[in-house]
Each structure stands twice: as C-alpha cells, then as structure tokens.
Amino acid sequence: LSKRQMRMCMRNPDVTASALQGIQVAIHECQHQLRGHRWNCSSLEGFGRLPHHSTILSRGLRESAFSLALLAAGVAHSVASACSMGKLRGCSCDAKRRQDDDKIRLKLTQLQLQTLQKGGVAIDMAKSLPSELNGRRGNLPTNLHSALMKPLSDEPNLMQDTWMWGGCSHDLRFGERFSRDWLDSRGSPRDIHARMRIHNNRVGRQIVTDHMTRKCKCHGTSGSCQFKTCWYVSPDFRLVGTLLKEKFSSAIFVNSQNKNNGVFNPRTENGAGGSS
C-alpha cells in the first residue's frame, strides 16, 4: 500500500477491508472474462500486494486498461454493497433514496382503509391506525396525521401502481468516492499513463453507476400490488465484467508522446497507451 492508502486504512479499516474484497472479486471476474486469452489476469493475484503493482498494469495495453477499469468498479461495487448491509460505520443506505418510516406506514394504512371502504365496512379512522401509530398523535408529524384523517377518494385507481422509496438503496456515491480516493492519483496526472489510468478507473465506476437497478416490494391486500416500496441496488458484477469486456474489444491506442493537456489522440497502428 502507498502511504496515502495506509492512512486511509488506518482511518477506515472496515471500508478498506471491503475495498480489498472488491479487488479480489474483480480479479476473479477478470480471469473469467479473459479465460480464453493468452493473458488471463492470473498475474494480478500477488502475495500481500495490490494488483496495481503488477508490471502489466503499468503498460499501455488493452488488458491493462480492462483490468484497471474492472478493479475500480470492484472497489466501488463492494463498498456500496457493504454500506447497504450495515457492515460499515461510515455509511449506510443512500440517504437520498430513503423514505421516512412513518410515511410508509401511513401509505399502507391508507390502502387498508381504502379496501375496507370499498367493501362497505364502516370504520373509525382513528381506531384503524396501526398499533405503532395509534395514540401517537402528539408524536406523529402534523402533516402525516392530517393526511391520514382526510376522507379517502372514491377514485378506485388513485393509489394503484404507486411507489415510494423504501428499503435500503446501495450508497454508490460513497463507494465511488472511496474508489476514487483509494485508486486515483492526487493532483494533476504527470504523464499519459497516469491520465489513462484515471480515465480507465472512471470508466469502470461509470459502468456500475449506469446499471444500477430498482428493486421493489409489493404491498396490498389479498396478494395485490397496490403500492410498492423500492430501492436501488448495484448491478450483478458479472454484468459489469461483460460490459467492460465489450469495451475491451473496442479499446483504442493513444499516442504515448501526447502532451499532458487532457486530450487523447488516437493512433492508427498498435502502440503504447491502450484506453477503454
């Protein structure tokens, strides 16, 4: 580990452990995706060293570009997943995709009341509150209590096919940030190889971000799905590997003499500087 990585390890040992697990997952996926190739990522499995110290990753090859992107994706994916499972102290669920539990219970209660009304059952709205909300008017936010006490609409499909955030979405923002801090060099890259490494790291993380999927759980009476709570999860890592393998096949070579000006100039013949 570099000095910077050692400092991060000391500050966040649990996150670092998840990052290292992500690197191992990425190496195994690399071996799967390149299993029919002359180089199959086996040299990335070092003894007590990060694969980034491997000689091949310091060269401008398609294989190195693919491996770097996959390793960066593995770190972001593993850390984000660990966050959602409550394994890390520094993060949990994605706060932007969490819904207040009271709001979810309110929605479920409204569905129950709507079903009873449609069945012609006379009900007392206040007495129909779930036990955890009943008698808590003083603790229940005013806007939620008012919403619950409103007469339900006669429109039969008013609450059909609706959803709100619930569950625990993977905090990919945290995973991306740690992957970037852990793997990308600080400051401006000094040469074309450093720039390509950062570029390929970014490509790997972007694949994970672009293929987050929404999972939902149905709520309703008698097996209906009147209302859903949904959350985002990271894509299966096999999909990440497959998509990056497609980019591997179309990787371009760039001029190793490029100036450090932020622009990659493709080469027409094979040479140093493979980039995803």
Contact yes or no for 15/88 (Cβ under 8 A): yes
In the block, tokens 């006379």 appear at: 122
Distance (Å, whole) CA 102 – CA 128: 15
Contact yes or no for 83/29 (Cβ under 8 A): no
What mean pLDDT, rounded, does the chain reach?
A: 74
Query: What backbone phi and psi angles, to 5 degrees, belong to 215?
Result: -110, 145
Contact yes or no for 101/167 (Cβ under 8 A): no
Q: Is the pLDDT higher at 41 or at 148?
A: 41
Note the pTM of the prediction, 2 decimals.
0.70
Q: Tokens for 168? A: 């625990």
* Overall average pLDDT of the 61-81 stretch: 94
Q: Tokens for 216? A: 């939902």
Q: Considering only CA atoms, which of 72, 104, 69 is closest in space to residue 243?
A: 69
Each as own residue / partner, the long-range contacts of residues 145-153 (CB below 8 Å, 24 or more positions apart, any chain) are 147/106, 147/110, 148/106, 148/109, 148/110, 149/125, 152/110, 152/113, 152/114, 152/117
Which range is most confident: 56-65, 91-100, 267-276? Answer: 56-65
* Overall average pLDDT of the 95-120 stretch: 56
> Which residues does 5 contact at the CB level (< 8 Å), separation at least 6?
16, 182
* Overall average pLDDT of the 202-214 stretch: 94
- How far from chain centre, in Å, is Cα 213? 9
In the block, tokens 């955890």 appear at: 132
What residues pair up with 231 in beta bridges, in sequence order? 215
Q: What is the pLDDT of residue 194?
A: 83
What residues pair up with 162 in beta bridges, in sequence order? 227
In the block, tokens 């400092």 appear at: 7
Which range is most confident: 23-27, 80-84, 232-236? Answer: 23-27
Neighbours of 118 (CB within 10 A): 12
3-class secondary structure, 173: helix
